[in-house]
Amino acid sequence: MKVLRRKAALLVLGYILLLVLTMLHFTDYKGTKECTQVKYVPYPLRYTVEHQRPSAPQNSSSGRQHVYVFTTWRSGSSFVGELFNQNPNVFFLYEPMWHIWQKLYPGDALTLQGAARDMLGFLYHCDLSIFQLYNGGNNITSMGIFGAPRNKVVCSYPLCKAYRKDKVGLIDEHVCKNECPPQHLDSLEAECHKYSTIVIKGVRIFDLNILAPLMKDPFVNLKVIHLVRDPRAVASSRIKSRNGLIRESLQVMRSKDPKGRRLKVYDGYQRTRRDAVDYHALNALEVICTSMVRTAQMVRELPDWLKDNYRIVRYEDLVEDPIRYLKDMYHFVNLSVSEDIERFMLNMTMGSTYSSKKPFSVSSRNATQAANAWRTQMTYSQIKQVEEYCQHAMDWLGYEKVQTPEEVKDFSKSFVTKIRL
C-alpha cells in the first residue's frame, strides 16, 4: 500500500513538472515570435566609428581646425563668440548644448556633461543630425537651432540673401527672422563642410576632463579657449539677468555637494521673490567656482593631451588691450586678423556706455566700465559671499579680495592682479 502511494505521489509531481515546463516553453515561443515581428528602424544619427580614422595629420584629418570656447554664463562669452562669428572663415555655433538642457530639464548640470560632449563630437564632424534628439525630431530646420537669428552662416548667402558672411557686422535678428527662410539641416551641413574652422561656444561643460576624448581624437584635435572673468562680475551679471537664468541656476544648484557649504541668505532674510531669485543666482557660484578650481589644478599640472591645445583668456585683459588679445586668440587657432575685424573689436569695446536692456545681446559698449560694474551694482554683503566661495579660484586667476566697503567704491584701485596659473 505504501509503495502504491509513493508511486502515485511521484506521478503527480512528474505531471506538475511537465505542465510547468510546457508553460515555460510556450511563453518563450510567444516572446520569440513577438520579437521577430518587431521592425528595426535605423536611428537618424549618422556619427559612426568610421569617422574615427586611425591615422590623421596634426591639424585633424578633415583639414579643419576645431575650437571650443570653454566658459560659464555672464563671462563675456557672447562677445568672444561674436569675434569668431564675424570671421568669414569660421563656421560658428552659439550654445548648441542649450537644447540638451531644455529637453532633459530638470537634469543637474554635472550629469548632463556627457551628453553635451557627445553632441560636440557630432557637430565637429558637421553632423547636425544630433539636434533631432533634442528639438522636434526630423522637423528641425536651420532656424530651429538656438541662436540661429544671429548666426552669420544661417543669415547669409547662400542660405539667405539678407547678409553676406564676408562682410563684418552684427546681424539684426529681426531681419534674419523675417527674411531668411528655414532651411533643411542638410543645407546647413553642406555649408559647414566648406569652412576651414569650426568654433563652438558653450557654458554647459564644467570639467575640462570631459573634453579629453575630443582633444585626444586625431580627427578632431580640439583646441580650447578658456574664458574666465572675475566671479564677482559674473555674480553681478547673473543678478542683472536674473529672469533669463532661473532654470539654469536651478540646474546648476542641483549639482551641489549636499555636504558642501551653503550660501547664507544675504542681508539676513529673503524679503521678496526677487530676493529669492538673486539668492539662487549667487548660490550657483559655488558649483561654478569649484569647477574653475578643478580646471586650474589641471592646468597647473598640464597633462600631455592639453599641451599646445589650451589657452586661458581673462575678460578683463581682453577689454583692456583688445587688439593684442584678439590677435593672440586668432593666432592660437590659426586665424588671421583683418582690418575689418580689428575695427569691429574696437567698436564693440569702446562704446559710450555699458548698460543694455537685453543682457544676452551683443552690442557696442564701454567694456572697461562693464568689467567694473559689480562694484556699484552689488551690496558689500553679496560681494563677500561670492569671495567666500570663490577665494581659491580668485587667487589663482589673479582677482584680489575686497577689504572694506569704501575700497569697493575707490575706482583708482584695481582688483585685477597677475594670473598665477
Query: What is the CATH classification number for the domain harbouring 215?
Result: 3.40.50.300
Task: Look up residue 3 and give its DSSP letter.
Answer: H
> Are 375 and 409 within 8 A, CB to CB?
yes
The owner of cell 586625431 is: 218
* CA 32 to chain CA centroid, nearest Å: 44
Query: Does residue 22 sit within a domain?
Result: no
Cα 143 to Cα 73, 110, 181, 359: the distances in Å are 23, 28, 8, 22
Helix (H) or strand (E) holding 227: strand 223-228
Tens-digit pLDDT string for the chain (421 aa): 555 566 566 665 665 655 555 554 444 444 433 333 333 233 344 544 334 433 344 445 457 899 999 998 888 899 999 999 999 999 999 999 999 988 888 878 788 899 999 999 999 999 999 998 887 666 889 999 999 999 999 999 999 999 999 999 999 999 999 999 999 999 999 999 999 999 999 999 989 999 999 999 988 989 999 999 999 999 888 787 665 566 666 677 666 655 554 544 444 444 554 555 566 667 778 888 888 888 988 888 889 899 899 999 999 999 999 999 999 999 999 999 999 999 999 998 876 555 555 554 565 567 778 788 899 988 898 899 899 889 999 999 999 999 999 999 998 899 999 998 7
Query: Does residue 178 sit within a domain?
Result: no
Helix (H) or strand (E) holding 92: strand 90-94
The owner of cell 543630425 is: 129
Tally of domains within the chain: 1
Q: Which domain holds residue 383?
A: 58-126+193-408
Query: Does residue 174 sit within a domain?
Result: no
Query: Does residue 354 sit within a domain?
Result: yes
Segments of 104-205 assigned E as strands: 197-202
Task: Identify the pLDDT of residue 130.
Answer: 93
Phi and psi (nearest 5°) for 91?
-95, 115
Compute how many other C-beta atoms are within 10 angstroms of the C-beta atom of residue 324. 11
Task: Identify the pLDDT of residue 372.
Answer: 85
Query: Does residue 413 sit within a domain?
Result: no
Task: Identify the pLDDT of residue 361.
Answer: 55
Cell of 126: 558637421
Task: Identify the pLDDT of residue 184.
Answer: 92
> How many Cα atoms are found within 13 Å in the side-chain-facing hemisphere of 316?
20
Whether omega for the bond prior to residue 158 falls within 30 degrees of 0, making it cis, is yes
- Which three-class secondary structure state does DSSP give residue 314? strand
Query: CB within 8 A of 30, min separation 6: which ones?
Result: none
Query: Does residue 311 sit within a domain?
Result: yes
Query: Does residue 19 sit within a domain?
Result: no
Task: Identify the pLDDT of residue 254.
Answer: 66
- Which three-class secondary structure state does DSSP give residue 228? strand
269-275: long-range contacts, CB 8 A cutoff, minimum separation 24 = 274/242
Question: Which pTM was predicted?
Answer: 0.80
Distance CA 60, CA 421 (A): 28
Query: Does residue 219 sit within a domain?
Result: yes
Edge-to-edge strands, sheet with 90-94:
90-94, 197-202, 65-70, 223-228, 310-314
Burial status of residue 28 (CB atoms within 10 A of its CB: 0-12, 13-18, 19 or more) = exposed
Task: Identify the pLDDT of residue 27.
Answer: 46
